[in-house]
Chain A
Amino acid sequence: MKNRFFAGMAPVAALSLSLFASSALADITIGVTISSTGPGAALGIPLKNSVELWPTEVGGEKLKVIVLDDAGDPSIATTNARRFVNDDKVDVMVGSALTPASIAVAGVAAESSTPHLGCSPVPPNISKGKWTFIMPQDAGLIAKNLFAKMKADGVKTVGYIGFSDSYGDLWMGQFKAIGEQYGLKVIADERYARPDTSVSGQVLKLVAARPDAVFVGASGTGAALPQIGLRERGFTGKIYQTHGAVTFDFLRIAGKAADNTIFASGPAMAPEALPDTAETKAEGMAYVTAYEKKFGPGTRTQFGPHINDAMAILKKAIPIALKKAKPGTPEFRAALRDAIETGGPFAASQGVFNFKADDHLGLDDRAVVLFTAKNGKFEITK
């Protein structure tokens, strides 16, 4: 009995020893909470994979990275964030992949004065937070570019179909807010859920409303369901998709039905096709090459680059902050926050971040490119 107890304790002892050892060596601690299981797994897994591509040291200091899974659940994300702050004394937090979980992390970041790089879009009241910076393109920026394209294509009436959750509401909200400026009128608003087995009812209603174009506010392969349904029911107008739908899985599932669809996207999906003058090209090529070398060709996603971009920012901001204070202290966290806010512009794979005190989104039109799907490939469109 006694032997068994000691046998059981040995790995625990070894583990705690190694923890001590690493906390003594590692100088900068980063806490990453990501939804690598649960409903956000399709977004979270590429993020988690991208963490593995992070360097082991920045500015001569070793990095200690702790990755936890929050399953997209805000309460688990809060627990993770508290653990980072109280037990691990992290210098910066990264995550999460879903909006509700990111909001939860932002809350802990604000009360513990820890810099936070969010990897999902968040509502404006959260992105105004002093300690939170947002990596993904905000819906307003994407919508602006897509709506301008629709206007250029001569679209006047739009049929909308989106997820029956906050993602779907987000895009409908953009139509209400700025659609009119681009002369767009929404004449049908339909919703569906990702696990639905059929969208025939919604599609029939959209087709019956005879819009010039259909806008799909959905993400991942879930966005393929109405795309296929619309083409099956003989809808011939243009279909517009958000950056959430830009994945190779989407093309694989939608097949021929995806042809001539317009997508908004971040530049990191196709850095090869960018002109050499683009500020995002170098970082994007480096990331995509490294990612596909490790996880196989054609595995790049829209979401993984946010993790790369967080590191691109930290690589530049950490050396600035190191001049002012030692890692692990509140002074270092404050210095790092200031460095992120004022140290820009940071050229990264999805755009050029230039944060200001009143703008923690930091991106401009350089963070959006438009794609057309043709024969199972994304091609850059003007």
Chain B
Amino acid sequence: MIATFLIQDGVTNGAIYALLGLALVLLFSVTRVIFIPQGEFVAYGALTLALLDGGKVPATISLLVCFGAIAFLFDLWSMRRGTDARTFLRSLALNLVLPGVIYGITIMLAPLDLPSVAKALLTILIITPMGAYIYRIAYRPLADASVLVLLIASVGVHLAMMGLGLVFFGAEGLRAEPLADDNFSIGSLMVSAQSLCIYGATIAIIVGLYLFFERTLLGKALRATAVNRLGARLVGVRTHLTGVTAFTLAAAIGAVSGVLIGPITTIYYDTGFLIGLKGFVAAIIGGLASFPITAIAAIGVGLVEAFSSFFASSYKEVIVFGLIIPVLIWLSLSHGFHEEE
């Protein structure tokens, strides 16, 4: 009886970690960035949804406009030695017009009492473009740097995003309203509609990613970049485009995770980091390369967390993060020693 509760709890959290883990693997394989701030997208998403629930205009939209403006300045700087009208207009549309439109839509819709699904979609719409801007601002100038430099940049982005989160959302936690409020009982097990949403969304995203990588040209370009960056460039894949795509996808996945987790727990401006780290544990177990292993490992992390919180709550984090150590030993033994790049 208790075990079924714990399993359900573990799988629910594990599904969220799976989404984060997948985003991390996606980003690392395409851009070689170990994206520590992935959790921040989750926190931003959850907090934005919670503010929309309260009928308030979320501060994330001003943040989005600022990010867009900075990205536009970066574009202008790189265009300073001459450019054509098309590039300029595209940058203008992507960096200034798009956030402006989202800003307008949000201001208009926020005071209306929208159905919760609409609020969730609006939240995802607000957060998703941030991925592209963050890539433009922090990572594109460093695209050819080593993994270590990119990691350090990630730490910087993480600290910056967390600080901005404190400024925009305040220090206290928020909790969003669930997408659906019902509970079902299957046998002795109570299942909340929210957790069904989580399972559904996770499966949909996994299937969606699979189709994207297998069936679309852009997806194949991303895979090509992941396999060999230089080779992909030589055959005409624009690696900047794949970078932007990967970051936008990651931000979208983060926003979805935030929308899903916001109603089941209290989210703070700094909660994202810990959730992201647990997704990271799963991604490490998947060797930062394998999507299916990452997804399964994430469910495993959720289950271990649920059971350790029951049997030894003071040691929960130790147990969860301790999972990495045997995996790392096994990975390094089975692959032998090799210099990173």
Contacts and interface: CB of A to CB of B under 8 A. Distances in A.
A222 B173 CA distance: 8
B112 interface: no
B310 to A, nearest CB: 3
Interface in B147-166: 163, 166
Q: Which of A192, A195, A200 has the most CB of B within 10 A?
A: A195
B265 A198 contact: yes
Interface stretch (B94-102, B214-222, B268-276, B326-334): B268-276
B266 A253 contact: yes
Contacts of B306: 198, 200-201
A195 B268 contact: yes
A45 B9 CA distance: 34
A198 B264 contact: yes
Contact of B265 (A39, A45, A202, A225): A225
Contact of A249 (B172, B273, B313): B172
A31 B310 CA distance: 45
B313 A41 contact: no
A205 B310 contact: yes
Binding site of A, secondary structure by majority: helix, strand, loop or mixed?
helix
Contact of B268 (A37, A194, A198): A194
Given A164-B314, A200-B309, A201-B310, A195 B271 contact: yes
A241 to B, nearest CB: 15
A221 B173 contact: yes
Contacts of A42: 171-172
Interface in A182-219: 190-202, 204-205, 208
Interface in A324-377: none
Contacts of B166: 37, 41
Nearest to A205: B310
A220 interface: yes
A201 B261 contact: no
Nearest to A225: B266
A332 B46 CA distance: 52
A252 to B, nearest CB: 8
A42 B268 CA distance: 10
A102 interface: no
Q: Which of A39, A41, A42, A198 has the most CB of B within 10 A?
A: A198
Contacts of A164: 313-314, 316-317
A200 B173 contact: no
Contacts of A249: 172-173
Contacts of B310: 201-202, 204-205
Given A200-B306, A253-B175, A190 B313 contact: yes
Contacts of B12: 198
Interface in A30-80: 37, 39, 41-42, 44-45
B308 interface: yes
Nearest to A194: B268
Given A164-B317, A191-B314, 7 more contacts: A44-B171, A45-B171, A199-B309, A200-B9, A202-B313, A205-B313, A208-B2
Nearest 9 A/B pairs, CB to CB: A201-B309, A201-B310, A41-B171, A42-B171, A221-B173, A200-B9, A191-B314, A249-B172, A195-B274
Interface of B: 2, 5-6, 9, 12-13, 16, 163, 166, 170-175, 261, 264-266, 268, 270-271, 273-275, 305-311, 313-314, 316-317
28 contacts: A37-B166, A42-B172, A45-B170, A45-B171, A164-B314, A192-B309, A195-B271, A195-B274, A196-B274, A197-B13, A197-B16, A197-B261, A197-B264, A198-B9, A198-B264, A198-B265, A198-B305, A201-B6, A201-B307, A204-B6, A204-B310, A221-B173, A221-B268, A222-B173, A222-B266, A253-B174, A253-B175, A253-B266
